[in-house]
Amino acid sequence: MDAMPSRDEILKALEAVIDPELRRSIVELEMVRSIDSADGLVRVTVSLTTPGCPIRSHFETAVRTAVGALPGVERVEVGFDVLSDHEKAGLQKKLGRPGGLPEGALAQVSNVVCVGSGKGGVGKSTITANLAAALTADGKRVGVLDADVWGYSIPRMFAVSGRPPVSPQRKIMPLENHGVKVMSIGFFVEEDSAVVWRGPMLHKALTQFLEDVEWGQLDFLLVDLPPGTGDVSMTLAQLLPQAKFLIVTTPQPVAQKVARRAAEMANKVDLEIGGVIENMAGFVTPSGERFALFGEGGGQALADELDVPLLGSVPLTMPLRVQSDAGEPLVFTDPDDPASQAMRHAARGLMAMFPVELPILQAAAPAAPVAAPTGMSLPMAG
């Protein structure tokens, strides 16, 4: 049997474990709390910035892989604790971010999924709303952030409107319907008013939606992105480097080309593409005849090209459109409609993408901290 590696050798191996949010190694960030090794077993404790850190499983896998590869190591156990306020302050200073690490409301959100498309009108919001419905129907706690600042349609799809209330802790409370928490820029601007969004304004609004909204405990936060690429993707990549990106496309080859550009942007800003969903894939008449109105195979071809799974292929169905307009996602009202079935299938693929953390690895959940007032200068009509 090989001799056990020394503490320094283990630390050296841990330099390969990068905090995706802060983009530095956990060794450099002084987040390695302890290393114990004996009889082929290495125990590593990593200190997180927030207890509900959604990238915990990333660290666990990365530490296991890095340390497990050293000769003499047979087993690796990974534990977690949380940096003290004093340590956090030191880290902030080191990072030159006295404004604070991203923490707060999102600490209780396990997984963030951004839904994007190359262009408008391919059904991105419809898919987001029904994926949220399918995840909810499967017992998950779900929120939808409508970041489609140029065409917010999520409020209509969930039949929610009005100004969200503000909690005594000065957090914005999402509106809720069908058990899904919803936040949209549409709640804050006059209906049909033309808002000219400039980059920094958009950045500020999205930051507030992620940090100042009381999302509470969520298994999934789905973010409905504006079509195309650019400012919003950049901002989200900065704020949510651990998010996965889903691309919605229609089946024809031209659409695939447009969707590919969204994928390229996601890649450029290091957002991981989780999968493709094809929408408007064929139309089935009541007598069962099928017409491929928008061609065929584009979703699969894009997924193959990006080397990610095709999570679903959603047909055109009249009830899907009708229910979207009526404010009740079809998956809730008719789970057996072919479009609902495809959406439920895609939601299962999504759940499989995020392995459930074993409770034994989770630190005891602390009482939610009362956040300091962070300013309520939310959007910004006219």
Which residues sit at the interface with ligand ADP, rule CB under 6 A? 117, 120-126, 151, 153, 279-280, 314, 316-317, 320-321, 324, 339
From the CB of 262, what's the least distance to ligand ADP, in Å?
Answer: 11
Minimum CB distance to ligand ADP smaller for 208 or for 249: 249
For ligand ADP, the closer CB: 22 or 135:
135
For residue 91, give both structure tokens: 């880290």
Minimum distance from residue 268 beta carbon to ligand ADP (Å): 22
Closest CA to 219 of 108, 370, 123: 108
Nearest approach in angstroms of CB 125 to ligand ADP is: 3
**Do residues 252 and 287 touch, judged by C-beta distance below 8 A?**
no
Closest distance to ligand ADP from the beta carbon of 282 (Å): 10
Least gap, CB of 376 to ligand ADP (angstroms): 28
Largest CA distance in the chain: 71
237 contact partners, CB below 8 Å, separation of at least 6: 243, 266, 269, 270, 271
Please provide residue 229's backbone torsions phi and psi, each rounded to the nearest 5 degrees. Answer: -140, -150
Minimal CB distance residue for ligand ADP: 123
CB of 127 to ligand ADP, least distance (A): 7
Helix, strand, or coil (residue 161):
coil
Closest CB to ligand ADP among residues 14, 142? 142
Q: Apex CA 138: angle with CA 136 and CA 144, to 5°?
A: 25
Which CB, 153 or 233, lies closer to ligand ADP? 153
Looking up tokens 């927030």 gives 50
Minimum CB distance to ligand ADP smaller for 112 or for 122: 122
Work out the number of other CB atoms within 10 angstroms of the CB of residue 374. 15
Nearer to ligand ADP, 57 or 126 (CB): 126
Q: Dig out the tokens for 121 from the structure.
A: 């009108």
Q: State which residue, 111 or 250, has the beta carbon closest to ligand ADP.
A: 250
Phi, psi of 144 (to 5 degrees): -125, 125
DSSP 186: G
Smallest CA-to-CA distance from 233 within 185, 197, 268 is with: 268
Q: How far is the CB of 228 from ligand ADP (least distance, A)?
A: 11
Closest separation in Å from C-beta 133 to ligand ADP: 13
User: Based on CB atoms, which residue is closest to ligand ADP, 210 or 314?
Assistant: 314
* Helices marked H in 177-228: 199-211
Taking the CA atoms of the chain, what radius of gyration do you get in angstroms? 22
